[in-house]
Amino acid sequence: MKKQIKSLSISLLIYSMFVILIGWKLTWFSNQSDTLFSQYGIIEMFKRLFNFFVNDASFSPLREGILLVSFGAIILASFWTIFLKLRKQLIALIIVDFILSFIILADAIYFRYFEDLISSAVLLQIKQMSSLGSSVGDLFTWKDFLLFGDVLIFTVLLVVLYKKIPHNKNANPALRLATGLVAGAAGAWLFFYPLHDFVEKGGAYLFDKTLSSMRVYEVTGLFGFHGFDTYKYLDEYVLNKKEVSAKDRKDAQAWFRDKNKEPAVQTVYEKKAAGKNLIMVQLEAYQSYVIDKKVNGQEITPNLNKLKKESLYFSDIHHQTASGRTSDAEFAANTSFYPLATGSAYVRFPRNEYDSLPLIMKENGYDTAAYHAYKPGFWNRYIVYPNLGFNEFHSIEDFKKGEQIGWSLGDESFFTQSVDIMKEGEDPFYSFLIALTSHYPYTMPAQYQNLDIDDVGDVNLRNYLQSVHYVDQAVGTFIEKLKKEGLWENSVVVFYGDHDSGYMQANTGSTLFANTKADKLGELEVKDGIPLFMHVPGVDGKEINKAGGQVDIMPTLLHLFGMNKDNYHHMGQNLLDDQESSVVFRYGSVKTDKYYYKAAYDLKLENGTCYDIESRQSVSVETCKPLYDKSIEHLGISDDVIFGNLVELWRNQSVK
Ligand code: GP9
Ligand code: MN
């Protein structure tokens, strides 16, 4: 018996070491992403936990709870190894160590770019990720692989010492089984107790309507998130394909009915674009802080600055994208629905129908086409576009070989060739162009590094500025060509940015450069800011600073073209009327002209921050409650419509 206990003790000692090692790796991830342990401080968390057990202090599932949950998850993933004899246990632990380390590293790399975790929805888009190609390489260094150092050392030790490891003749299987089960039960308690407490304290919503992966991660930890995400995926796609309840369907329908009941506000712009063509250009990672800005005396975007004076320029527009990036922006602009919290709607619901911009233009006699010089399968575009109402999709396969910059054909050649295709078609038309050159990591060939900025910001910022400067030049060429071909005078031409540039971390050269107000609110304001230009023939230039986002682009255009109908389902607002406006971000924050409500990861009102824009100070969150309520309502309704493909359903019902 003594020997058996001794061998079990060795086994448990090694096992504990494994748990601590993986725990340490989780804190490494936290430090990398500045979340959880890094935010709260691991020592502080242990202290509070001690206080909870010893001094009966109160328990916060989000602080000390996350410690228990994280360790619980490690134990749940590995307690079964205790059932095995020592040699086999060691092999099993090395394999589990490898798998868990791999998950941690993959998430860390993904987070550096997307500030999000890898979810099953993201894995469904894995083709996109692999096409990130060389840019993925820039996201990690060899040091990251030290995370596998222990796996390597233990494997070598195991091979060398294999013969010397006791055969465990003495280890009693029943004793091992019992110990393993006790460990498993302890793991389950550690994992579920704080989560149960969280749900009891009103946290259930987080698991019902998953608005973002990071919010779930904040309460479940990294492995807990992946467990939950896998469960959600199976539940959504395999076990019970998600049906939007009859009540939610009705609520959504009533919401649109109420919205459409309000008579449209008349403006001087109404129908100003009737009969004109529409050319809409989405610019990659284009942010508004570069517009009208000089660096070392040089204009960063001289052509767009000129356009700004001559067109309608919307100066308070923000992107509303999440992990679907470029596809989210296209989706919002062409359907007036919010992108999903996780994964791209293009990938998750490619066959959905909407009252989409190309479809409406088509109904009004327009020819419609999308242009993007990249692989047609990327973001599922070739499947989605016909459903949205695009007659044609000109992908990389339809462009002549030209100058290659970054991911694909440079924007200059892309724009020029697109106009050549456009001019051959019939009027009126809607052409939607997605530019690509200013994609992360923004490195430009030497001949296109035309700004003299060696002493500015950090290398990321310099690369970014050079690439947006190049794209601006391409925009200039594009406008000239449209003029030459006689298209400028009879087309509405729209330019907007798809999303942020992806690396704006606090206190780096880039934030300091962009945030001229140099305060917390300024950081938030510039982070998601994108430009929006609308050139409307016959309409003078004007700057409009109504708060808005990408979902507002289509309602504004329909107003200009005089194509709006009161049975359309759109989440956005017309940016040209004088009604009060607001922009709801996909992660729950909201901005109006007066307030900026920054949502917390857990989406609880009280954990967010409410800023008064004029005083630039934070005020009581209650002031922002109406904004908060609006964001929850909007995101919920939009999600229901997408999950339930409700626009198609309602269309079919009204036909019957
Ligand atoms: C490529 C483009 C990629 O087609 O959509 O941009 P991203 O989604 O990575 O921003
Ligand atoms: Mn993009």
Sign for the CA dihedral angle at 256, 258, 264, 265 comes to negative
For a ligand 1 pocket test, name from 405, 439, 464, 503 the mutation site with the most ligand atoms within 8 angstroms of its C-beta: 439
Residue 422 has pLDDT above 60, yes or no: yes
Residue 255 has pLDDT above 80, yes or no: yes
Ligand 2 center from residue 247 Cα (angstroms): 36
Q: What pLDDT does residue 34 have?
A: 87
pLDDT grade for 232, boundaries at 50, 70 and 90: confident
Q: Which atom of ligand 1 is nearest to the CA of 324?
A: 8
Ligand 2 center from residue 421 Cα (angstroms): 23
- Count CB atoms within 10 A of the CB of residue 251: 15
Ligand nearest to the CA of 128: 1
Q: Which atom of ligand 1 is nearest to the CA of 498?
A: 10
Q: What pLDDT does residue 169 have?
A: 59
Ligand 1 center from residue 331 Cα (angstroms): 13
442 lines ligand 1 (CB under 6 A): no
Ligand 2 center from residue 178 Cα (angstroms): 53
325 lines ligand 1 (CB under 6 A): yes
Residue 122 has pLDDT above 80, yes or no: no
Residues 364-377: what's their mean pLDDT? Answer: 94
The protein residue whose alpha carbon is closest to atom 5 in ligand 1 is 326
Ligand 1 center from residue 187 Cα (angstroms): 41
The pLDDT tens digits for 458-492 are: 888 999 999 999 999 999 999 999 999 999 999 99
Ligand 1 center from residue 381 Cα (angstroms): 11
Q: Which helix (H) or strand (E) holds 559?
A: helix 553-561
Ligand nearest to the CA of 323: 1
Residues 136-143: what's their mean pLDDT? Answer: 82
The pLDDT tens digits for 359-369 are: 999 999 999 99
What would the two tokens of residue 168 be?
Answer: 């465990």
Residue 132 has pLDDT above 60, yes or no: no
Whole-number average pLDDT of the chain? 92
Q: Is 611 exposed, middle or buried (0-12, 13-18, 19+ CB in 10 A)?
A: buried
Tell me, what amino acid is at 25?
Answer: K
Residue 548 has pLDDT above 70, yes or no: yes
Residue 134 has pLDDT above 80, yes or no: no
Ligand nearest to the CA of 114: 1
374 lines ligand 1 (CB under 6 A): yes
Using only C-alpha atoms, the chain has a radius of gyration, in whole angstroms, of 27
Ligand 1 center from residue 86 Cα (angstroms): 49
319 lines ligand 1 (CB under 6 A): no
The pLDDT tens digits for 183-225 are: 999 999 999 999 999 999 888 877 765 556 788 898 999 999 9
326 lines ligand 1 (CB under 6 A): yes
Report every protein residue that has its C-beta within 5 angstroms of ion ligand 2: 284, 325-326, 498
CB 96 within 8 A of CB 77: yes
∠ at Cα 46 (45, 47), nearest 5°? 90
Query: Which among 589, 579, 583, 633 has a CA at the least distance from the CA of 611?
Result: 589
Ligand 2 center from residue 283 Cα (angstroms): 8
Ligand 2 center from residue 447 Cα (angstroms): 24
234 DSSP 8-state letter: I
Ligand nearest to the CA of 327: 1
Task: Round to the nearest angstrom and report the end-to-end CA distance of the chain.
Answer: 78
The pLDDT tens digits for 265-315 are: 999 999 999 999 999 999 999 999 999 999 999 999 999 999 999 999 999
Spatial separation of the C-alpha atoms in residues 514 and 516, rounded to whole Å: 6
The pLDDT tens digits for 569-621 are: 999 999 999 999 999 999 999 999 999 999 998 889 999 999 999 999 999 99
Ligand nearest to the CA of 377: 1
Phi, psi of 484 (to 5 degrees): -60, -35
Query: Which among 490, 26, 443 has a CA at the least distance from the CA of 217?
Result: 26
176 lines ligand 1 (CB under 6 A): no
Ligand 1 center from residue 326 Cα (angstroms): 5
Would you identify the CATH topology of the domain 249-655?
A: Alkaline Phosphatase, subunit A (3.40.720)
Q: pTM for the whole thing? A: 0.79
The protein residue whose alpha carbon is closest to atom 6 in ligand 1 is 326
Ligand nearest to the CA of 378: 1
Q: What pLDDT does residue 161 have?
A: 87
439 lines ligand 1 (CB under 6 A): yes
Q: What pLDDT does residue 209 have?
A: 57
For a ligand 1 pocket test, name from 286, 325, 346 the mutation site with the most ligand atoms within 8 angstroms of its C-beta: 325
The residue count for the chain: 656
pLDDT grade for 23, boundaries at 50, 70 and 90: very high
Q: What pLDDT does residue 565 have?
A: 94
With helix as H, strand as E and coil as C, how does 568-597 read? CCCCCCCCCCCCCCEEECCCCCEEECCEEE
The pLDDT tens digits for 178-188 are: 999 999 999 99
Beta bridge partners of 368: 430
Q: What pLDDT does residue 405 have?
A: 96
Tell me, what amino acid is at 101?
Answer: S
What would the two tokens of residue 183 be?
Answer: 């460990």
Q: What pLDDT does residue 442 have?
A: 94
CB 583 within 8 A of CB 548: yes
Q: What pLDDT does residue 39 have?
A: 84
Q: What pLDDT does residue 233 have?
A: 80
Domain limits of the chain?
Answer: 2-239, 249-655
Spatial separation of the C-alpha atoms in residues 25 and 144, rounded to whole Å: 11
The protein residue whose alpha carbon is closest to atom 3 in ligand 1 is 326
440 lines ligand 1 (CB under 6 A): no
Ligand 2 center from residue 80 Cα (angstroms): 44
The pLDDT tens digits for 55-100 are: 888 888 888 899 999 999 999 999 999 999 888 999 999 999 999 9
pLDDT grade for 254, boundaries at 50, 70 and 90: very high
